[in-house]
Amino acid sequence: MSLTLEQRPKRDAEPRRESRRPRRRLRRASSSSADSMVWTTAGSLALCLIAIVGLLALCFVKGSATFWQKPIVQLELTSGSSVMGEVTREEDFTAEDGTTMRRRLLRLGNYELTGEHFRWVRDDEIDSESEPEWALVLERRQVLERSQTGPFFGFPQAFLIDGEAVATEPGEIWKLFQEQHDASTARQRERQSLEKHDVGATNRMTEAARLELRTVELEHGAESTEWAAQEQEYRRIAREASVQYDAVRAHIDDLNEENRRFELAMRTADGAEQRTPLADIVRAVPANRMGFTGGVAVYFSRWREFLLDDPREANSAGGVFPAIFGTVAMTLIMTLLVVPFGVLAALYMKEYAKQGFLISAVRIAVNNLAGVPSIVFGVFGLGFFCYFLGVSVDELFFGTQLPNPTFGKGGILWASLTLALLTLPVVIVATEEALAAVPSSMREGSYACGATRWQTIRRIVLPRALPGIMTGVILSISRGAGEVAPLMLVGAVKLAPELPVDGVFPFVHAQRSFMHLGFHIYDLGFQSQNSEAAKPMVFTTTLLLIGIIVLLNVVAIRVRSRLRARFSSVHV
Amino acid sequence: MLRCSGDPLPGAAAGAPATASVHEGMPSGTSSIGGVFESVSRGAPFETETHEALGGEEAVVGIEDFNLSYGDTQALFGVDMCVPRGKVTALIGPSGCGKSTLLRSVNRMNDLIDGVHTDGRMTLNGDSIYGRSVDVIELRKRIGMVFQKPNPFPMSIYENVVYSLRIDGVRDKQLLDEVCEESLRGAGLWDEAKDRLQSNALRMSGGQQQRLCIARAIAAEPEVLLLDEPCSALDPIATGKVEDLIDELRGHYSILMVTHNMQQASRTSDYTAFMYLGRLVEYGPTGDIFMQPRLRETEDYVTGRFG
């Protein structure tokens, strides 16, 4: 008894001492692990921020610098030749003999003369270096269709009217150029407009008559009297069209004639001479003598062209307006398609269907749909929309135009539908969550007033869930506008100056292919004949695409916050 | 007209015999076997103690041997009671005793819950509530309901009040305006709300929101008004206003109200029904229930000795 009494406190004391220490250690460990969680969470957020800010900053810095005109340098080489261009990059490198020296990548113009776009120039090759005052950069309209000739660097030699040099001194030439350039650009634009609209109209006239004839042929056969009558009609319209065409052509020829009178003679750094018609010059930039204000003017003029004009030089220069239009139009059509479908589907799943295995399975399937690679949607869109639906539509309604497909190929409608499918899960999930967040007390209140289920949904549940649904819409816009892979299969193309909406009946052409900024970026970066020259445009286009997505989102977010303000209660 | 009687409700028996049956229905009286609660928890059959005073009332809602179960759990056992016309009737009892379930059975809100089974009869002004051919939507239009937490809809004050007319497709602006003003006056909210009828109802204070809900409920001129603990989410001042409002509505509307607050029941109601474990234990004039209940269990509860 006494033994046990003696032993007891000892036994008690020992484990207590043992247990106290680990406990203290434990407490410390837990508090330090809490600290480490702060660091871990903050660290991962910082990592995300660095990635996002870095990407945005890269796009912004590189993208906004594209249109800034750098000085033109002329390098006299030890070999005796002379090169002139814009320095795009420079780096240090180790030469064969082990010395480190600098080399610069020079953007050379005059591709049609030199056959070179870029050239590395080592410092030890250079005899002397200068920035000549009268170095001019000529940005030209396509010299060859769909080719990339790049700018022309040179010195003004003479201003020619009707082949006669009226000025030979650079200052005078520049003055005359500025006087005449606007007029010749206006003539050039008028010519383009005539070619696009008036010639297009005569073509459409004959095409419509031909289709009419074809319809009659399909109905009555090629030997029938109706066909013969229709053929007469067709010939008459074709004659009329050709008369109209000749008139337009004559007008165009006049304009061309007038434009050919004005030419600018230029001399390159190595002495070659070339004459360029004024109408082919988009912009002449006296890079080394325009000063800061002139630089700013050129910078904004280039941005303007970028945002509002068609591309030139195989997409690597000029504007991206068709791509902006295509991106925005496709995103809006996609939103219009996906929101009603997604919301209705979510409504059924949440409000009407009996919750059970089947609905759970559907929900899982919808969530999985979000994980399907987007190219798979593209393949599906091509197979189902273009080749099945589109071909059926063609057979039913556009039989006369066969074998030319109307809807049986990629187009903005099919692309929008494909992306609508792609973003459907986003909308469904967001809508379901928004519906679940509507307090059941509101539903009950409505039912107690004698409202039917649909009245309750329409008047109470949907308005209340709208901000949440808008979140889904915002997410789907971001996802849809930035998607490229499926578009390559269902309608985005390299060049489509004809917009899906224009002034020609029926005004909306849902079957047309379209340009898309995302695809444009891919095309510039990887499909270009001269990717080094297209690189700055990649950044600028990316910047623009991000800007457009941000803009669309800001609009949606503002709508959402207005809705939220309507439903927020001061009294919770 | 249906009369309130303590015994098996109207149906065949109406008029004079019903009054007689009140006395038959309560032979146990104060001498009831010591443990009503015990017999209840044993599941033994037991008779509701209904006071004779109810026999003189005209019934708006009649409930007869009403049983309800959520899946396998039975929540109401053979409830027999009536809601007298133009009077305020309070349902009291400890949590989980089935007060709210009984209240929500009247306008069939329990239909919205899966797995609810009911059995027995319930009538609204003589029309069956649970009959097979009853249109629930039409039924609910005849009954107004106010919930525990104020639940104004996310729209303007005006639209909240005329909601039940809107869903009926009423477009007549003049009629809507009239109903809106009348209901808001009825709910004592007109002076506070008349200048901001088009502002969002969610911007009102909690007490105002609850009175708005009452205005919404009376806009459809319901035959009976169900209040499910209308003051439990409100502060004392707002509670006072709602109680005053209930007092004003007395006579115009027949009110069935659930409350946890014994003082509220004694202040506002004409009749009080005490429920326990899904049974209606004692039902009588409020004064009697609180001052001289017939069952000791009721006395224990109202004096705060348990519950």
Average pLDDT of the residues of chain B? 81
Inter-chain CB proximity A448 and B217 less than 8 Å:
yes
- Nearest-Cα distance to chain B for A308, in Å, is 44
- Give a three-class secondary structure readout of A273-305: EEEEEHHHEEEEECCCCCHHHHHHHHHHHHHHH
A304 vs A109, more confident:
A304
- Percent of chain A having pLDDT more than 90? 16
How sure is the predictor about B5, in pLDDT bands with cuts at 50, 70 and 90?
low
- pLDDT for position A42: 93
Q: In chain B, what residues touch A439 (CB-CB under 8 Å)?
A: 151
Instruction: Dump pLDDT digits (tens) for B259-302.
Output: 888 888 888 899 999 988 888 888 889 988 888 888 888 888 88
Domain contains B5 = no
**Would you call A445 an interface residue with chain B, using a CB distance cutoff of 8 Å?**
yes
- pLDDT for position A44: 94
Q: How far is CA A285 from CA A39, A174, B15, B300, in A?
A: 53, 10, 107, 100
How sure is the predictor about B15, in pLDDT bands with cuts at 50, 70 and 90?
very low
**Would you call A356 an interface residue with chain B, using a CB distance cutoff of 8 Å?**
no
Q: In chain B, what residues touch A451 (CB-CB under 8 Å)?
A: 137, 163-164, 167
How sure is the predictor about A334, in pLDDT bands with cuts at 50, 70 and 90?
very high
- pLDDT for position B30: 40
Domain that holds residue B216: 16-302
Which residues are A137's β-sheet partners?
A153, A285
Distance CA A238, CA A232 (A): 10
Distance CA A233, CA A431 (A): 57
CATH number for the domain harbouring residue B255: 3.40.50.300
- pLDDT for position A25: 53
List all residues 6 or more positions away from B251 whose beta carbon is below 8 Å from its beta carbon. Answer: B86
- Residues of chain B that touch chain A, judged by Cβ-Cβ distance less than 8 Å: 107, 109, 112, 114, 137-145, 147, 149-155, 163-164, 166-168, 200, 202-206, 209, 213, 216-217, 220
Q: How many CB pairs under 8 A join A and B?
A: 84
Instruction: Dump pLDDT digits (tens) for A141-191.
Output: 765 555 667 888 889 888 888 888 888 888 888 888 888 888 888 888 888
How sure is the predictor about B98, in pLDDT bands with cuts at 50, 70 and 90?
confident
**Would you call A465 an interface residue with chain B, using a CB distance cutoff of 8 Å?**
no
Interface test with A, best of B155, B214, B228 (most A CBs within 10 A): B155
Fold exhibited by the domain A321-516: MetI-like fold (1.10.3720)
> Which single residue is written with the structure tokens 């949590």?
B95
- Nearest-Cα distance to chain B for A336, in Å, is 25
Interface test with B, best of A449, A458, A567, A572 (most B CBs within 10 A): A449
- Search chain B and give the residue with CA nearest A352: B112
- Search chain A and give the residue with CA nearest B111: A447
Q: In chain B, what residues touch A452 (CB-CB under 8 Å)?
A: 137, 167
Average pLDDT of the residues of chain A? 83
Inter-chain CB proximity B164 and A568 less than 8 Å:
no
Say whether pLDDT at B17 is over 60: no
Q: In chain A, what residues touch B200 (CB-CB under 8 Å)?
A: 566
Interface test with A, best of B108, B113, B147, B163 (most A CBs within 10 A): B163
Decide if B305 contacts B289 (C-beta within 8 A): no
- Percent of chain A having pLDDT more than 70? 91
How sure is the predictor about B32, in pLDDT bands with cuts at 50, 70 and 90?
very low
Helices within A348-411 (DSSP H only): 357-369, 374-380, 391-397
Decide if B276 contacts B79 (C-beta within 8 A): no
How sure is the predictor about A31, in pLDDT bands with cuts at 50, 70 and 90?
low
Inter-chain CB proximity B112 and A567 less than 8 Å:
no
- pLDDT for position B27: 40
Inter-chain CB proximity A448 and B205 less than 8 Å:
no
Q: What are phi and psi of B273, to 5 degrees?
A: -115, 130
Instruction: Dump pLDDT digits (tens) for A438-482.
Output: 888 888 899 988 888 899 998 889 888 888 888 888 888 888 888
Q: What is the mean pLDDT of residues A218-240?
A: 82
Say whether pLDDT at A18 is over 90: no
Inter-chain CB proximity A451 and B144 less than 8 Å:
no
Range 326-355 of A in CB contact (< 8 A) with B: 354
Inter-chain CB proximity B140 and A460 less than 8 Å:
no
How sure is the predictor about B31, in pLDDT bands with cuts at 50, 70 and 90?
very low
Q: With b meaning 16 or more CB within 10 Å and e meaning fewer, what string describes A506-519?
A: eeebbbbbbbbbbb
Say whether pLDDT at A561 is over 80: yes
Domain contains B180 = yes
List all residues 6 or more positions away from B108 whose beta carbon is below 8 Å from its beta carbon. Answer: B129, B130, B136, B139, B140
Instruction: Dump pLDDT digits (tens) for B174-226.
Output: 999 999 998 888 888 888 888 888 888 888 888 889 889 989 988 888 889 99
How sure is the predictor about A210, in pLDDT bands with cuts at 50, 70 and 90?
confident
Q: What is the mean pLDDT of residues A108-136?
A: 85
Long-range contacts of B134-142 (CB under 8 A, 24+ apart): B136/B108, B136/B111, B137/A450, B137/A451, B137/A452, B138/A450, B139/A450, B139/B107, B139/B108, B140/A447, B140/A448, B140/A449, B140/A450, B140/B107, B140/B108, B141/A449, B141/A450, B141/B168, B141/B220, B142/A450, B142/B220, B142/B222, B142/B223, B142/B224
- Nearest residue to B62 (alpha-carbon basis) of B6, B19, B124, B18: B124
- pLDDT for position A423: 92
- pLDDT for position A46: 95
Strand order in the sheet with A126-130: A118-122, A100-108, A82-94, A72-77, A126-130
The sign of the torsion formed by the CA atoms of B121, B79, B63, B246 equals negative
The partner residue sitting opposite B145, judged by closest CB among A442, A448, A566, is: A448
- pLDDT for position A346: 93
Helices within chain B (DSSP H only): 16-25, 36-42, 99-106, 136-141, 157-161, 163-167, 173-186, 190-193, 206-219, 236-249, 262-268, 286-291, 296-302
Inter-chain CB proximity A448 and B109 less than 8 Å:
yes
Inter-chain CB proximity A445 and B213 less than 8 Å:
yes
Inter-chain CB proximity A566 and B107 less than 8 Å:
no
- Nearest-Cα distance to chain B for A442, in Å, is 6
Provide the domain count of chain B: 1
Instruction: Dump pLDDT digits (tens) for A276-301.
Output: 888 888 888 888 888 889 899 999 99
Q: In chain A, what residues touch B109 (CB-CB under 8 Å)?
A: 444, 447-448
The partner residue sitting opposite B202, judged by closest CB among A447, A459, A568, is: A568
- Percent of chain B having pLDDT more than 70? 85
Say whether pLDDT at B8 is over 80: no
The partner residue sitting opposite B137, judged by closest CB among A354, A441, A450, is: A450
Inter-chain CB proximity A463 and B154 less than 8 Å:
yes
Q: In chain B, what residues touch A442 (CB-CB under 8 Å)?
A: 151, 153-154
- Search chain A and give the residue with CA nearest B202: A569
Say whether pLDDT at B19 is over 60: no
Inter-chain CB proximity B140 and A447 less than 8 Å:
yes
Say whether pLDDT at B118 is over 70: yes
Q: Is the pTM of this model over 0.80?
A: no
Inter-chain CB proximity A448 and B163 less than 8 Å:
no
Inter-chain CB proximity B154 and A441 less than 8 Å:
no
Q: How far is CA B141 from CA B39, B137, B155, B183, in A?
A: 39, 6, 20, 16
How many other C-beta atoms can be found within 10 angstroms of the C-beta atom of residue A336? 11
Domain contains B248 = yes
Instruction: Dump pLDDT digits (tens) for B148-170.
Output: 888 888 888 998 999 988 888 88
- Search chain A and give the residue with CA nearest B199: A566
Q: What is the mean pLDDT of residues B132-142?
A: 88
Inter-chain CB proximity A446 and B153 less than 8 Å:
yes
Q: What is the mean pLDDT of residues A499-520?
A: 80
How sure is the predictor about A2, in pLDDT bands with cuts at 50, 70 and 90?
very low
Instruction: Dump pLDDT digits (tens) for A32-84.
Output: 556 788 889 999 999 999 999 999 999 999 989 888 888 899 988 888 888 88
- Nearest-Cα distance to chain A for B183, in Å, is 14
Say whether pLDDT at A342 is over 60: yes
Domain contains B253 = yes
- pLDDT for position A379: 93
- pLDDT for position B29: 41
Domain contains B3 = no
H or E element, residue A3: helix A2-65
The partner residue sitting opposite B220, judged by closest CB among A446, A449, A570, is: A449
Q: In chain A, what residues touch B152 (CB-CB under 8 Å)?
A: 445
Domain contains B7 = no
